[in-house]
Amino acid sequence: MLRNAMRLFSVIVGVSFSWAHPALAEDKSANSESLKCEGIRELKALVEKQQSILAQNNAYAVNLTELLAAGYMPAACPDGSRASVSGSNFVGGCHFTYGLVYVVNNPQTGDFAFETVALGVDGTPSEGMELYITRIVSRYHDFIESYMYHNGVYSDVDLNACSQAR
């Protein structure tokens, strides 16, 4: 009797894990983490492009048109589609729209700053995610801050947490 009960138990456990495996693959926290990394990689690329523009022109690009002309373009989805955007200061990637929040250029005082944002697209798994990077360069500071809001909850973001591979 005990042997039959154990056999039945092992069958139930095996069937449970076969059902649970697809559910584990769709775990929202893992999906959220990969989406966060997508946003971080694309924002880091935007920051790097702004840094190269500053080095060449002694000023940051003040709008997205200048960044696009300099070669910045976030990756599209594997099927080639992009998130639709509203506004000229945003460009669509796969799961986010990317843009500039503000830019400060003051070569006379040596103060330069900008903030960039990745906004999750409504109706997609990235909905409710907002990632920000603020970059300040001056005679006194060389500062970068990164943070996010996920459904209104604030957290700091480690820009080195995600690999550069796409």
Q: What is the pLDDT of residue 15?
A: 33
- The backbone torsions φ and ψ at residue 165, rounded to the nearest 5 degrees and listed phi first, read -65, 140
Q: What is the pLDDT of residue 163?
A: 65
Instruction: Report the predicted TM-score, pTM, of the whole model to 2 decimal places.
Output: 0.77
| Interval 11-36: pLDDT, tens | 333 333 333 333 323 334 437 788 99
CA angle 58, 162, 120 (to 5 degrees): 80
CB 76 within 8 A of CB 59: no
d(CA 29, CA 106): 42
| Interval 39-66: pLDDT, tens | 999 999 999 999 999 999 999 999 999 9
| Interval 71-82: pLDDT, tens | 999 999 999 999
Q: Which two tokens stand for residue 60?
A: 């940051």
Q: Half-sphere exposure of residue 4, counting CA atoms within 13 Å on the CB side?
A: 1
Which amino acid appears at position 162 of this protein? C
